[in-house]
Amino acid sequence: MKRIDQQKQVDVASPERRKILGFAVAAINLALISAIIGPVIGFVTSPMRRKKKGQWVSILDENLLAKGEVQEVNFSLRIKDGYQVVDRKYTLYLSRSQEGVVCIDPACTHLGCRVRFQSDKHRFVCPCHGGVFSEDGKVVSGPPPKPLERHKVKVESGKIWIYKET
């Protein structure tokens, strides 16, 4: 008789206790999973969350760029790429016109092929789909939707500096 009463008490209390235990187990599991996965996700996505940085880079002596000339300039920068530090090579075009020194990025605005300057035609020509740009980077013909990108330029201490985002 006594044994039946004890069993009744357990049956009545059991659903509530199970519910509390279930919440406790779920909370502990959630804390464990967060403690393991959180840092891993943070580590893997850190390069994507990194803000783009820029810097002023001296790329040419001012007196080496004549008025009306368009000159291809190659230089390299040491940058952090993901988890590595690498020396990345860049090519830009500098020209000196009435508006001052202009720096044009050779990446075609259609699909990103590298345009080449043809000095006899005074045009930038894209080898991929025949896009043509004027000396100051405006679209002349072909599929490119917008002008070539320009970089900020300053002339200081006898040098031409460009602002390069990395």
Q: Is 122 in the site for ligand FES (CB under 6 A)?
A: no
Q: How far is the CB of 150 from ligand FES (least distance, A)?
A: 17
For 41, the token pair is 């996700």
Nearest distance, CB of residue 136 and ligand FES, angstroms? 17
φ/ψ of 153, rounded to 5, equals -130, 145
| Close Cβ partners of 142 (under 8 Å, ≥ 6 residues apart) | 110, 126, 129, 130, 131, 132
In contact, 131 and 143? CB cutoff 8 Å? yes
Binding to ligand FES (CB under 6 A) within 6-65 occurs at none
Nearer to ligand FES, 122 or 129 (CB): 129
Residues in the chain: 166
**148 contributes a contact to ligand FES by CB under 6 A:** no
Return the residue of 79, 102, 113, 155 that touches ligand FES, per CB under 6 A. 113
> Which H or E element spans position 22?
helix 2-49
Residue in 111, 122, 149, 156 binding ligand FES, rule: CB under 6 A: 111
Provide the binding-site residues for ligand FES, judged by CB under 6 A.
108, 110-111, 113, 126, 128-129, 131, 142-144
